[in-house]
Structure 1
Amino acid sequence: MRRVVGCAERRQFRERIRYQAGERFARGERTAVIARGLRVSERSVEGWRRTWQEGGMEALASTGPAKLPKVSDGQFIVLEEELALGPAEHGWEDQRWTLSRVQALIAWKFGIDCSSAAVWRLLHRHGWSWQCPARRALERDEHAVELWKKDVWPQVE
C-alpha cells in the first residue's frame, strides 16, 4: 500500500529531484542517463535542463502550489450562505443548483471568473457532491414495482 502524502511534502520531494538533476547537469551527464537514474521522463529532464541553463540551481526551486484556489475560504463561507438561500432567491425559476449557476453566482458575488471544472473542484474540495433527487413519483406503486422486479425482470435478463 502506498503512503499518501500532502501537497507540500510532494512539492518538496519533486524539488529535491530537480536539484539532483541540476547537480548531474553540472557534471555533464546525458539526459537519458539522468532520467533513468531519477526515474522520471526524459522530457521532464530536458525541461529542467533548459530551466537550469537559463537560471542555474535557483531556477529549479519550487514556485509553490501549482494552482491556488481563486475563491478563498472566507469567500466560500459567503458562497455557502448564498447557496443555502436557493437558486430561486437569485432569480432562477427552479430550485436546482447547477455548476453554471454556481459559476454565475461566483462571478456576480465576487467578480471572479472561473470555469465549470474549477467550480466543481471548489465544491468538491469543501465536501459538496452532486445529488439526484430522492423523491419518488406520487403515483408510484411500490407493490407493483416489486412484482415487476420478481416476475418480469428475470425474463428480460
Structure 2
Amino acid sequence: MPRLSEKQFAQLEAEPAKEPAAHGWEDQRWTLARITTLIGRCFHRTCTIQGVRKLLVRNGWSCQVPARHAIERDDEAVAGWVKEV
C-alpha cells in the first residue's frame, strides 16, 4: 500500500480535477490503474491496484458508476441486439 503524507495525498486528490486528458489519457475515466500510474509519475512510488483502492477508501473515496447514459445512446437499436446461439 503506498505510503503518502497528508500533503502528498492532498496533491493526489487535486490531480483528477485536471481530468484524464491533462495526463495523457483520451477518455474521461479515472480508474485504479490510472491512479496507480499517477502516483508513480507524481511521487515516484510503486504500488498495487489493491493498495491504491485501500488508500482511497481509507481517505473517504468510493467506487462510482456513471448515473446516466450517453446522449447518443439509441435504446431501440440496443434492444435489437440479440446474441445468436
Q: TM-score, normalised by structure 2?
A: 0.77
Which residue is 1:40 aligned to?
none
Which residue is 1:9 aligned to?
none
C-alpha spacing 1:107/1:137, structure 2 compared with 1 (3 Å): closer
Between Structure 1 and Structure 2, which shows a larger proportion of helix residues?
1
The CA distance in 2 between the partners of 1:77 and 1:132, in whole Å, is 23
The CA distance in 2 between the partners of 1:73 and 1:81, in whole Å, is 13
The CA distance in 2 between the partners of 1:121 and 1:95, in whole Å, is 22
The one of 70, 73, 78 equivalent to 2:3 is: 70
Asked if 1:85 is matched to 2:18, the reply is yes
Which residue is 1:109 aligned to?
42
The CA distance in 1 between the partners of 2:69 and 2:42, in whole Å, is 35
Q: Which of the pair has more CA radius of gyration?
A: 1
Shift of 1:136: 2.8
Which residue is 1:99 aligned to?
32
The CA distance in 2 between the partners of 1:137 and 1:99, in whole Å, is 22
The CA distance in 1 between the partners of 2:15 and 2:5, in whole Å, is 15
Secondary structure (helix, strand or coil) at the match of 1:80 reads helix
What is the RMSD computed on CA atoms of the aligned residues?
Answer: 1.8
Shift of 1:70: 1.0
Amino acid at match of 2:8: Q
Residue deviations 1:21-74 (CA, integer Å, cap 9, x gap): xxxxxxxxxxxxxxxxxxxxxxxxxxxxxxxxxxxxxxxxxxxxxx8x511111
Amino acid at match of 1:89: A
Higher-RCO chain (CA-CA 8 Å, sequence separation at least 6): 2
